[in-house]
Homo-oligomer: A and B are copies of this chain.
Amino acid sequence: MNTFGRHFRVTTFGESHGVALGAIIDGCPAGLTLCEEDIQMELNRRRPGQSKVTTPRNESDSVEILSGVFEGKTLGTPIACIVRNADQKSKDYEMFRDIFRPGHADQSWEEKYGYRDHRGGGRSSGRETVGRVIGGAIAKKILYEKYGTQILGFVSELGGVKAEIFDAEEREKNPVRCGDALAAEAMLKKIMDAKRASDSLGGEITVFIKNPPKYLGSPVFGKLEGELARAFLSCGAVRSFGFGSGGGAKDEKGSSQNLKREGISGGISTGDDICITVSVKPTPSISQPQTVHQKDGSVQENFIIGGRHDPTIPPRLVPVLEAMAALVLGDALLAPVVRMDLL
Protein backbone atom coordinates (compact mmCIF):
# COMPACT_ATOMS: atom_id res chain seq x y z
CA MET A 1 0.00 0.00 0.00
CA ASN A 2 2.14 2.78 -1.28
CA THR A 3 -0.64 5.04 -2.48
CA PHE A 4 -2.10 7.72 -0.25
CA GLY A 5 -5.43 9.36 -0.99
CA ARG A 6 -8.51 8.52 -2.98
CA HIS A 7 -8.83 11.62 -5.14
CA PHE A 8 -5.48 13.36 -4.87
CA ARG A 9 -3.41 10.18 -5.00
CA VAL A 10 0.27 10.01 -4.21
CA THR A 11 2.14 6.80 -4.94
CA THR A 12 5.64 6.74 -3.54
CA PHE A 13 8.58 4.46 -4.19
CA GLY A 14 12.20 3.96 -3.33
CA GLU A 15 14.59 2.35 -0.91
CA SER A 16 17.13 4.13 1.26
CA HIS A 17 20.09 2.82 -0.74
CA GLY A 18 18.43 2.05 -4.08
CA VAL A 19 18.77 3.94 -7.36
CA ALA A 20 16.16 6.61 -6.67
CA LEU A 21 13.10 7.60 -4.66
CA GLY A 22 10.09 9.57 -5.75
CA ALA A 23 6.38 9.84 -6.24
CA ILE A 24 3.64 9.95 -8.83
CA ILE A 25 0.89 12.43 -8.04
CA ASP A 26 -2.34 11.48 -9.80
CA GLY A 27 -5.42 13.64 -9.62
CA CYS A 28 -3.75 17.03 -9.38
CA PRO A 29 -6.05 19.39 -11.27
CA ALA A 30 -4.85 20.94 -14.52
CA GLY A 31 -3.70 24.53 -14.62
CA LEU A 32 -1.63 24.76 -11.44
CA THR A 33 1.61 26.68 -11.92
CA LEU A 34 4.33 24.27 -10.87
CA CYS A 35 8.09 23.97 -11.21
CA GLU A 36 10.81 21.89 -9.62
CA GLU A 37 11.74 24.71 -7.23
CA ASP A 38 8.28 24.53 -5.63
CA ILE A 39 9.07 20.97 -4.58
CA GLN A 40 12.79 21.40 -3.95
CA MET A 41 12.07 24.03 -1.31
CA GLU A 42 10.25 21.48 0.83
CA LEU A 43 12.73 18.68 0.14
CA ASN A 44 15.49 20.95 1.41
CA ARG A 45 13.73 21.22 4.76
CA ARG A 46 13.67 17.42 5.01
CA ARG A 47 17.04 16.57 3.53
CA PRO A 48 19.82 14.91 5.54
CA GLY A 49 23.02 16.73 6.26
CA GLN A 50 21.33 20.09 6.69
CA SER A 51 22.63 20.70 10.22
CA LYS A 52 24.51 19.18 13.14
CA VAL A 53 21.35 17.61 14.53
CA THR A 54 20.78 15.56 11.39
CA THR A 55 22.58 12.56 9.96
CA PRO A 56 25.81 13.44 8.15
CA ARG A 57 24.65 11.48 5.07
CA ASN A 58 24.96 14.11 2.38
CA GLU A 59 22.17 14.07 -0.20
CA SER A 60 21.21 17.10 -2.26
CA ASP A 61 17.88 15.39 -2.92
CA SER A 62 17.46 17.18 -6.25
CA VAL A 63 14.07 16.56 -7.74
CA GLU A 64 13.34 16.04 -11.45
CA ILE A 65 9.81 16.28 -12.82
CA LEU A 66 9.29 13.69 -15.55
CA SER A 67 5.69 14.26 -16.59
CA GLY A 68 2.42 16.02 -15.94
CA VAL A 69 3.76 19.56 -16.29
CA PHE A 70 3.90 21.39 -19.61
CA GLU A 71 5.17 24.91 -20.12
CA GLY A 72 5.06 25.52 -16.36
CA LYS A 73 1.53 24.33 -15.68
CA THR A 74 0.05 21.00 -14.61
CA LEU A 75 -1.81 19.03 -17.25
CA GLY A 76 -4.17 17.06 -15.01
CA THR A 77 -2.10 13.97 -15.88
CA PRO A 78 0.17 12.12 -13.44
CA ILE A 79 3.11 14.15 -12.18
CA ALA A 80 6.10 11.83 -11.80
CA CYS A 81 9.04 13.08 -9.76
CA ILE A 82 12.32 11.40 -8.95
CA VAL A 83 15.22 12.02 -6.60
CA ARG A 84 18.35 9.98 -7.25
CA ASN A 85 20.36 8.66 -4.32
CA ALA A 86 23.96 9.85 -4.32
CA ASP A 87 25.74 9.33 -1.01
CA GLN A 88 24.68 5.77 -0.26
CA LYS A 89 27.78 4.18 1.32
CA SER A 90 26.02 0.84 1.17
CA LYS A 91 29.13 -0.97 2.35
CA ASP A 92 28.68 0.53 5.80
CA TYR A 93 25.52 -1.50 5.99
CA GLU A 94 26.96 -4.88 4.99
CA MET A 95 27.14 -5.75 8.68
CA PHE A 96 23.33 -5.49 8.92
CA ARG A 97 22.66 -8.13 6.27
CA ASP A 98 21.93 -10.78 8.87
CA ILE A 99 21.11 -8.81 11.97
CA PHE A 100 17.96 -7.07 13.09
CA ARG A 101 18.64 -3.64 14.55
CA PRO A 102 16.70 -3.01 17.81
CA GLY A 103 13.76 -0.63 17.47
CA HIS A 104 13.90 -0.89 13.67
CA ALA A 105 11.53 -2.66 11.31
CA ASP A 106 14.24 -5.08 10.16
CA GLN A 107 12.79 -8.20 11.74
CA SER A 108 9.11 -7.61 10.99
CA TRP A 109 9.85 -6.81 7.33
CA GLU A 110 12.17 -9.80 6.95
CA GLU A 111 9.50 -12.10 8.33
CA LYS A 112 6.58 -10.60 6.44
CA TYR A 113 8.25 -10.33 3.03
CA GLY A 114 10.79 -13.12 3.36
CA TYR A 115 13.30 -10.88 1.61
CA ARG A 116 14.76 -7.51 2.48
CA ASP A 117 17.12 -4.76 1.42
CA HIS A 118 19.18 -4.48 4.58
CA ARG A 119 21.00 -1.35 3.48
CA GLY A 120 19.80 1.47 5.71
CA GLY A 121 16.53 -0.29 6.34
CA GLY A 122 15.55 -0.34 2.66
CA ARG A 123 12.08 1.02 2.30
CA SER A 124 11.41 1.00 6.05
CA SER A 125 13.93 3.83 6.31
CA GLY A 126 12.82 7.36 7.10
CA ARG A 127 14.28 8.16 3.69
CA GLU A 128 11.01 6.80 2.28
CA THR A 129 9.39 10.10 3.25
CA VAL A 130 11.04 11.86 0.29
CA GLY A 131 8.04 10.85 -1.81
CA ARG A 132 5.60 12.15 0.81
CA VAL A 133 7.26 15.56 0.85
CA ILE A 134 7.11 15.75 -2.96
CA GLY A 135 3.37 15.08 -2.96
CA GLY A 136 2.79 17.34 0.00
CA ALA A 137 4.57 20.25 -1.67
CA ILE A 138 2.07 20.17 -4.51
CA ALA A 139 -0.94 19.83 -2.20
CA LYS A 140 0.36 22.73 -0.11
CA LYS A 141 0.59 24.89 -3.20
CA ILE A 142 -3.02 24.19 -4.18
CA LEU A 143 -4.26 24.88 -0.66
CA TYR A 144 -2.35 28.09 -0.28
CA GLU A 145 -3.18 29.48 -3.70
CA LYS A 146 -6.87 28.66 -3.54
CA TYR A 147 -7.66 29.12 0.17
CA GLY A 148 -4.68 30.82 1.79
CA THR A 149 -4.32 27.69 3.90
CA GLN A 150 -1.01 27.36 5.73
CA ILE A 151 0.26 24.22 7.43
CA LEU A 152 2.88 25.00 10.02
CA GLY A 153 4.65 22.35 12.06
CA PHE A 154 6.86 23.04 15.06
CA VAL A 155 8.95 21.00 17.44
CA SER A 156 7.01 21.84 20.58
CA GLU A 157 8.84 19.72 23.12
CA LEU A 158 12.19 17.96 23.19
CA GLY A 159 14.34 16.63 25.99
CA GLY A 160 11.80 17.93 28.48
CA VAL A 161 12.04 21.48 27.10
CA LYS A 162 8.70 22.94 26.03
CA ALA A 163 8.32 25.69 23.44
CA GLU A 164 6.19 28.66 24.47
CA ILE A 165 6.28 30.55 21.19
CA PHE A 166 5.31 29.30 17.72
CA ASP A 167 7.00 31.68 15.34
CA ALA A 168 7.17 30.32 11.80
CA GLU A 169 10.12 32.47 10.79
CA GLU A 170 12.16 31.72 13.87
CA ARG A 171 11.50 28.04 13.29
CA GLU A 172 13.49 28.06 10.05
CA LYS A 173 16.43 29.79 11.72
CA ASN A 174 17.33 27.11 14.23
CA PRO A 175 18.28 23.51 13.44
CA VAL A 176 15.68 22.13 15.87
CA ARG A 177 12.76 23.59 13.89
CA CYS A 178 11.30 25.16 16.99
CA GLY A 179 9.37 28.42 16.92
CA ASP A 180 10.82 29.60 20.20
CA ALA A 181 14.46 30.73 20.00
CA LEU A 182 15.19 30.25 23.69
CA ALA A 183 13.62 26.84 23.86
CA ALA A 184 15.43 25.88 20.66
CA GLU A 185 18.75 26.61 22.27
CA ALA A 186 17.92 24.49 25.30
CA MET A 187 16.67 21.68 23.10
CA LEU A 188 19.83 21.79 21.04
CA LYS A 189 21.88 21.36 24.16
CA LYS A 190 19.81 18.33 25.18
CA ILE A 191 20.33 16.77 21.76
CA MET A 192 24.08 17.27 21.92
CA ASP A 193 24.15 15.74 25.38
CA ALA A 194 22.29 12.68 24.15
CA LYS A 195 24.57 12.38 21.14
CA ARG A 196 27.61 12.43 23.36
CA ALA A 197 26.02 9.74 25.50
CA SER A 198 25.53 7.65 22.33
CA ASP A 199 21.82 7.93 22.91
CA SER A 200 18.89 9.60 21.13
CA LEU A 201 15.83 11.63 22.13
CA GLY A 202 12.09 11.60 21.42
CA GLY A 203 10.02 14.74 21.18
CA GLU A 204 6.72 16.34 20.39
CA ILE A 205 5.53 18.10 17.24
CA THR A 206 2.61 20.48 17.00
CA VAL A 207 1.06 21.15 13.61
CA PHE A 208 -1.22 24.12 13.01
CA ILE A 209 -3.54 24.14 10.02
CA LYS A 210 -4.41 27.79 9.49
CA ASN A 211 -7.38 28.83 7.37
CA PRO A 212 -8.35 25.35 6.25
CA PRO A 213 -11.10 25.19 3.63
CA LYS A 214 -14.55 24.56 5.10
CA TYR A 215 -16.51 21.32 4.76
CA LEU A 216 -13.62 18.92 4.31
CA GLY A 217 -14.18 15.39 5.60
CA SER A 218 -16.55 12.58 4.62
CA PRO A 219 -18.59 11.04 7.44
CA VAL A 220 -18.74 8.46 8.78
CA PHE A 221 -15.51 6.64 7.90
CA GLY A 222 -13.72 9.49 6.17
CA LYS A 223 -13.91 11.96 9.05
CA LEU A 224 -11.18 14.53 8.77
CA GLU A 225 -9.64 13.74 12.15
CA GLY A 226 -9.46 10.04 11.25
CA GLU A 227 -7.74 10.73 7.96
CA LEU A 228 -5.25 13.03 9.66
CA ALA A 229 -4.58 10.45 12.36
CA ARG A 230 -3.90 7.75 9.80
CA ALA A 231 -1.63 10.06 7.83
CA PHE A 232 0.42 11.04 10.87
CA LEU A 233 0.60 7.55 12.37
CA SER A 234 1.79 6.23 9.01
CA CYS A 235 5.05 8.07 9.66
CA GLY A 236 7.51 5.71 11.26
CA ALA A 237 8.26 7.07 14.71
CA VAL A 238 4.93 8.65 15.65
CA ARG A 239 3.32 7.08 18.71
CA SER A 240 0.31 9.29 19.44
CA PHE A 241 -2.04 11.77 17.84
CA GLY A 242 -4.37 14.31 19.37
CA PHE A 243 -6.42 17.20 18.02
CA GLY A 244 -8.49 19.87 19.73
CA SER A 245 -8.77 18.89 23.39
CA GLY A 246 -6.54 15.93 22.53
CA GLY A 247 -5.36 13.76 25.41
CA GLY A 248 -6.96 16.26 27.78
CA ALA A 249 -10.48 15.51 26.53
CA LYS A 250 -10.88 12.89 29.23
CA ASP A 251 -10.75 15.59 31.89
CA GLU A 252 -13.28 17.91 30.32
CA LYS A 253 -16.91 18.36 31.30
CA GLY A 254 -19.59 18.89 28.67
CA SER A 255 -20.10 22.45 29.83
CA SER A 256 -16.43 23.33 29.20
CA GLN A 257 -15.81 21.17 26.13
CA ASN A 258 -18.85 22.59 24.33
CA LEU A 259 -17.25 26.04 24.36
CA LYS A 260 -14.15 24.92 22.43
CA ARG A 261 -13.59 25.45 18.74
CA GLU A 262 -11.52 22.51 17.56
CA GLY A 263 -11.73 23.16 13.80
CA ILE A 264 -13.45 19.86 13.11
CA SER A 265 -17.05 19.08 14.04
CA GLY A 266 -18.73 15.80 13.20
CA GLY A 267 -15.73 14.90 11.08
CA ILE A 268 -16.06 18.05 8.95
CA SER A 269 -13.78 21.10 8.95
CA THR A 270 -15.49 24.24 10.19
CA GLY A 271 -12.99 26.71 8.77
CA ASP A 272 -11.47 27.35 12.20
CA ASP A 273 -7.79 26.54 12.67
CA ILE A 274 -6.93 22.95 13.56
CA CYS A 275 -4.18 22.08 16.01
CA ILE A 276 -2.63 18.61 16.15
CA THR A 277 -0.03 17.24 18.53
CA VAL A 278 1.99 14.06 18.07
CA SER A 279 4.50 12.29 20.26
CA VAL A 280 7.58 10.95 18.50
CA LYS A 281 9.81 8.17 19.70
CA PRO A 282 13.63 8.54 19.78
CA THR A 283 15.80 7.42 16.85
CA PRO A 284 16.28 3.69 17.29
CA SER A 285 19.82 3.80 15.87
CA ILE A 286 22.16 4.57 18.76
CA SER A 287 25.81 3.76 18.99
CA GLN A 288 25.91 2.20 22.44
CA PRO A 289 26.18 -1.57 22.91
CA GLN A 290 22.85 -3.34 22.51
CA THR A 291 21.52 -6.87 22.35
CA VAL A 292 20.60 -7.72 18.76
CA HIS A 293 18.70 -10.59 17.21
CA GLN A 294 20.08 -12.27 14.12
CA LYS A 295 18.40 -13.81 11.11
CA ASP A 296 19.40 -17.30 12.20
CA GLY A 297 17.58 -16.86 15.50
CA SER A 298 20.70 -16.32 17.58
CA VAL A 299 21.29 -13.32 19.80
CA GLN A 300 24.36 -11.12 19.95
CA GLU A 301 25.17 -9.13 23.09
CA ASN A 302 26.94 -5.78 23.20
CA PHE A 303 26.61 -5.14 19.50
CA ILE A 304 27.39 -1.60 18.39
CA ILE A 305 25.36 -0.29 15.45
CA GLY A 306 27.43 1.75 12.98
CA GLY A 307 26.16 3.93 10.16
CA ARG A 308 25.02 7.55 10.14
CA HIS A 309 21.95 8.63 12.09
CA ASP A 310 19.91 11.56 13.32
CA PRO A 311 20.25 11.98 17.11
CA THR A 312 16.57 12.93 17.23
CA ILE A 313 13.80 12.68 14.66
CA PRO A 314 11.42 15.65 15.15
CA PRO A 315 13.39 18.42 13.38
CA ARG A 316 13.29 16.51 10.08
CA LEU A 317 9.83 15.07 10.70
CA VAL A 318 8.25 18.53 10.78
CA PRO A 319 8.15 18.96 6.97
CA VAL A 320 6.97 15.37 6.59
CA LEU A 321 3.99 15.86 8.90
CA GLU A 322 3.17 19.12 7.15
CA ALA A 323 3.22 17.20 3.88
CA MET A 324 0.92 14.52 5.27
CA ALA A 325 -1.56 17.13 6.53
CA ALA A 326 -1.48 18.75 3.10
CA LEU A 327 -2.15 15.41 1.42
CA VAL A 328 -5.16 14.77 3.66
CA LEU A 329 -6.59 18.21 3.01
CA GLY A 330 -5.84 18.07 -0.70
CA ASP A 331 -7.55 14.73 -0.96
CA ALA A 332 -10.60 15.90 0.98
CA LEU A 333 -10.76 19.00 -1.18
CA LEU A 334 -11.22 16.85 -4.28
CA ALA A 335 -13.87 14.59 -2.77
CA PRO A 336 -17.04 14.33 -4.85
CA VAL A 337 -19.81 16.87 -4.61
CA VAL A 338 -22.37 15.99 -1.90
CA ARG A 339 -25.19 18.36 -2.80
CA MET A 340 -27.53 18.25 -5.79
CA ASP A 341 -27.48 22.05 -6.02
CA LEU A 342 -23.71 22.06 -6.49
CA LEU A 343 -23.70 19.35 -9.16
Contact = CB atoms under 8 A, between A and B. Distances in A.
Q: Is the interface of A mostly helix, strand, loop or mixed?
A: mixed
Contact of A80 (B14, B73, B334, B340): B14
A340 B30 contact: yes
Contact of A215 (B31, B112, B253, B255): B112
In the complex, the count of this chain's copies comes to 4
Given A22-B66, A78-B13, A340-B29, A242 B245 contact: no
Interface in A255-296: 255, 257-259, 262, 265-270, 279-286, 288, 290
Contact of A230 (B13, B226, B270, B340): B226
Interface residues of A, number: 140
A251 interface: yes
Interface in A304-343: 333-343
Contacts of A7: 336
A24 to B, nearest CB: 5
A239 interface: yes
A123 B75 contact: yes
A104 interface: yes
Interface stretch (A37-45, A48-56, A172-180, A196-204): A196-204
A3 B67 CA distance: 15
A173 B26 CA distance: 39
9 contacts: A31-B339, A70-B117, A82-B82, A104-B266, A105-B219, A128-B220, A158-B250, A223-B234, A247-B279
